Structure 1
Amino acid sequence: MATRRAFSEESLREILLSLLVKSLLRFKCVCKNWGNLINNPSFTIDHLNLSKKKKPPQHLIYDYGAANDAPTVTLVSDKGIDEQNFQRLGDNITNLLGSIDGVFFLERQIGNDILCALWNPANREVRHLPAAAISFESFAVGRHLVFGLEPMTKDYKVLYYNQIEEYAAIYSCSRDSWKIFEHNTDVHQNSMMCKKSFYNTADYLNGSYYWLLKEKTDKCRILSFDFGNELFVKMEGPPRGHEDYSWSTDLILLGDSVGILNFVEGFVKDVWVMIQPGVWNKLLTIHLTTPTKSFYDNSFILVTKSSRLVSYNVRTNKTKLFEFRHPGLKSFPECGGCGVYYYKESLVTIKRKGNSELHLSRCLTKMVNKY
């Protein structure tokens, strides 16, 4: 009689790496060996990297105007709706940012209070942020509340910045507290306006958050915040030709580059990419006849007249129509419509750490620094 041979640990690891997070969360309870393997920080990194490389892109649709009996969150790809069920996050969500390695930042207003949290939809973890010793007034002029990651230490951070005020505040997951610091961006004093993107997913890249600076002289600059050094930096925008940079100019991300989508006339827009700080290249001129919802990789996510999503890759000139339809896609989140967020599920944990979890976090930091 033939005997069964157990999988080697290497073979088992390869099989588990190919599975969805919801399956891995169940398999953690099968036996101690499987649980230790899945909880290993190196497994989390490899699973996320594999997801980025091999699994098709997904988009999380958040319906800011959803009725009480309607789902607020839907996960879609160009193949249709993913059946994964997300927890309801409740009403009064005014801001959703991300995702960064599968983690979102969300802001909720309850009465006069503003509550902030981090959220990983895949493992259903929510981490509520402590209150800060600074007011986050929702409708304050020049207010920006943004989300980012320090890549070397994998420390998620939230920045509150008001271009009119002298001080800013930053929250760090590793510290689990807010820090108030003085900044010297001089944006308001120099008659510049720090423009927030409509897209909410088009601002963070490789450890920095970016804003478009619009000056009264129609000059265009970029302001960035480095989450590692916790410093602001200003850079020159594209050279101005015969056309001015209007308020319809938007900051975008294309691949690993910061870009600018500049209105020319009618439906004609120029796409610029920054090849190094302050150095720009005009990539192409395109005709966009439908509203843009977000960006991922080298693709624009657009909305058709029939309220469906379509992706357009500017480098390959290929389009893909999503098998998903929602009337709220035609409106921006600020108007009670739908936000469209590029999403890759991950095992990343955002729970507050006990002693054993702190040890795992330090191991993760050492591994990231090593590679």
Structure 2
Amino acid sequence: MEQPHDYYERKRMPLTVTINTPKRPLSSTVTQSQPQPFLSDELIREILLRLPPRSLLRLRRVCNSWKTLISSSQFAKDHLQHSTAADPSLSRPRVAYHHYCHHGFGDFSLRSLFENPSKPTEVVLFVERRNYMVIGSCNGLLCLLYYVAGINNYVRLWNPCTGLLTTPSVVRGEFFSVRGFGYDHVNDKYKLAVIVNHMEDHTTRIYTFCRNPSNRAIQGIPFSSIKGDRKGVFVPGTATLNWVYQHDTLEYLVLSLDLVKETFSEFSLPLSDPDDETFIFPHLCVLRNCLAYCFNHEKTHWFVWVMKEYGVPKSWTKLAIIPCLPCLPDYPFLPRLSHYHLRPLYIWGNNILVAVVSTSEIVLYNLDNGSFEFPKPTPSVGLWVFIYHESLVSPDLPSSSSQIQLIKH
């Protein structure tokens, strides 16, 4: 049982001091001891909001009042908002990845990767008897999927920082590659949107993670028209999932799913001429909390655009033009960037981290001088890579007693 923070002060023996000097009468002005410094609860809360999540987990042991505060859902939400908006470094951004063919996945620190790319990055590995697949990340939570007998799918939420692992929810039917995970901040619900095939019936469904999970069909996503890697991109603060799709006019557009209203809308992309066949491998991502668009132009350059104001096509702004490298003698493991999809992952200072899809490589590109660096985490990165920010978020869901086994090399 935890003791109050002044427990040891009360149990400590009094200290006796003898001074061999004549005693003098005390002045009337110091007949009472001076009051001890005092921090209000509001000030303590403001200080704690500015600390990293892992430090806060340790500080829960200081006293019961701190434990109650730090463990509250409102504090977790306020800390997440402060860390991602005011000071993203507090949220300790990390890279999570998984392999299709291996029972396990791992993660590593973004900071160490950017600050010292030439040094092998320490990777934390996780294994479990189920072959988990990471299908999305949001607010420090990873949405995990695993199959059973090729019929049913099970999804659960996991917070690697706190160790929260929710009980599995059943998703019946065969998954298609079109899916997305995000947060409805209006109703405080985490949702999974997916196309499933059940008894030859293709439907778009939304699964809501809550005490009484809901599962309902919504307006169908045009499966055959979705382009790129078909993973719905969640944009923080907008409650939307986004895909690239090709309209009947052959023009590329953004298909946006509002997770609050559970309805679709669309808006245009930059440089999406339907008659220009040089725009290939189009896909979306998130950079600096904004929707971003990346495509390959004539197999010579990758163009990266960001949408400064969500849903406003006029706010599309060109961020970078990344040249496609040939095979380099010093880096035989790196394929021609023109032959593979390039997925921008994160911007740190003047460097942008990109993943080469379908390989195990990641690349750092300097936005100022156009130079490349090729960090090599150990082990190599898997097929799918996600950025997540450490948080204290714990949805009000039943938690599993089983834990994912951690292996730290």
1:246–1:263 CA contact under 8 A, matched in 2: yes
CA separation of 1:155 and 1:25: change in aligned 2, threshold 3 A: same
> Which residue is equivalent to 2:377?
325
Go from structure 1 to structure 2 and tell me whether the alpha carbon gap of 1:243 and 1:270 turns closer, same or farther (over 3 Å shift): farther
Shift of 1:150: 0.7
Count how many residue pairs are aligned between Structure 1 and Structure 2.
Answer: 332
Give the 3 Å change call, closer, same or farther, for CA 234–77 of structure 1 in structure 2: closer
Question: Distance between the aligned counterparts of 2:111 and 2:303, measured in 1?
Answer: 27
Number of the residue aligned with 1:154: 188
* Matches of 1:13 and 1:308, distance apart in 2: 42
Residue number among 55, 72, 77 corresponding to 1:40 in the alignment:
72
- Relative to the length of structure 2, the TM-score reads 0.67
Q: CA deviation at 1:22?
A: 3.3
Q: Secondary structure at the match of 1:352?
A: coil
Instruction: State the alpha-carbon separation in 2 of the partners of residues 160 and 216 from structure 1.
Output: 22
The offset of 1:276, in angstroms, is: 5.7
2:295 counterpart (249, 262, 267):
262
1:179 aligns with 2:215: yes
What is the CA-CA distance between 1:351 and the residue it aligns to?
4.2
Please name the residue that 2:30 is paired with: none
> What SS does the corresponding residue of 1:79 show, helix, strand or coil?
helix
User: Do the aligned residues in 1 keep the contact of 2:94 with 2:109 (CA within 8 Å)?
Assistant: yes
1:122-161 correspondence runs (5 A): 122-132=161-171, 134-135=172-173, 137-138=174-175, 140=176, 143-161=177-195
Per-residue deviation, residues 222-262 of structure 1 (Å, max 9, x unmatched): 21111000112233333417633655222233334433322
**8 Å CA contact retained: 1:107, 1:114:** yes
Point out where structure 1 has 5 or more consecutive residues left out of the alignment. 330-336, 355-371
The corresponding residue for 2:282 is: 249
1:341 aligns with 2:376: no
CA separation of 1:318/1:216 partners in 2, compared to 1, >3 Å: closer, same or farther?
same
Say whether residues 1:231 and 2:229 are aligned partners: no
Q: Give the drift of 1:157.
A: 0.9
**Deviation of residue 13 (structure 1)?**
2.6
Which residue among 153, 169, 174 is the counterpart of 1:114?
Answer: 153
User: For residues 105-126 of structure 1, what are the alpha-carbon distances to aligned partners after superposition, in whole Å with 9 as ceiling and x for unaligned?
Assistant: 1111233232111111111111
- Aligned-pair identity (%): 21
**Is the aligned partner of 1:62 residue 2:62?**
no
- The answer to whether the 8 Å contact 2:93/2:110 transfers is yes
Structure whose alpha-carbon radius of gyration is higher:
2
> Which of 133, 143, 147 is the aligned partner of 1:94?
133
Q: Is the 8 A contact 2:288 2:346 kept in 1?
A: yes
2:395 to 350, 353, 369: 350
- TM-score in terms of structure 1 length: 0.72
User: Structure 1 residue 43: deviation in Å?
Assistant: 2.2
Contact preservation (8 Å) 2:232, 2:243: no
Is the contact made by 2:297 and 2:303 (CA closer than 8 Å) also made in structure 1?
A: yes
Q: CA deviation at 1:172?
A: 1.8
Distance apart, 1:90 and its partner CA:
4.2
* Alpha-carbon spacing, 1:180–1:235, altered in 2? closer, same or farther (3 Å): same
Partner Cα separation in structure 2 for residue 94 and residue 41 of structure 1: 27
Decide whether aligned partners of structure 1 residues 202 and 208 sit closer, same or farther in structure 2, where only a CA change above 3 A counts. Answer: closer
Other structure's SS at 1:92 match: coil
SS of the residue corresponding to residue 187 of structure 2 reads: coil
1:210 and 1:181 map into 2 onto residues whose CA distance is: 18
Question: Does structure 2 conserve the Cα–Cα contact (< 8 Å) formed by 1:74 and 1:82?
Answer: no
Specify whether residues 266 and 82 from structure 1 end up closer, same or farther in structure 2 by C-alpha distance, changes over 3 A only.
closer
| Deviation by residue 1:68-90 (Cα, 9 ceiling, x = unmatched) | 7xx73122123258879675444
* Map of 2:45 onto structure 1: 13
1:222 equivalent in alignment to 2:254: yes
Structure 2: gaps spanning 5 or more residues: 1-14, 16-32, 114-119, 326-336, 400-409
**Inter-partner Cα distance in structure 2 for 1:21 and 1:276:** 29
Q: For the structure 1 residues 245 and 182, does the alpha-carbon distance in structure 2 shift closer, same or farther, using more than 3 Å as the test?
A: farther
Assess if the C-alpha contact under 8 Å between 1:61 and 1:76 holds in 2: no
Name the stretch that deviates more: 74-83 or 171-180.
Answer: 74-83
Q: Closer, same or farther in 2 for the Cα pair 1:67/1:145, shift >3 Å?
A: closer
Moved more, 14-23 or 225-234: 14-23
Distance in 2 (alpha carbons) for counterparts of 1:65 and 1:177? 27
Pick closer, same or farther for the CA change 1:96–1:349 going to 2, 3 Å. Answer: same
Q: Deviations over 1:39-93 (max 9, x none)?
A: 334422332233323353522232416867xx73122123258879675444412
| Corresponding residue to 1:72 among 77, 81, 105 | 105
Closer, same or farther: CA 327–75 of 1 in aligned 2, 3 Å: closer
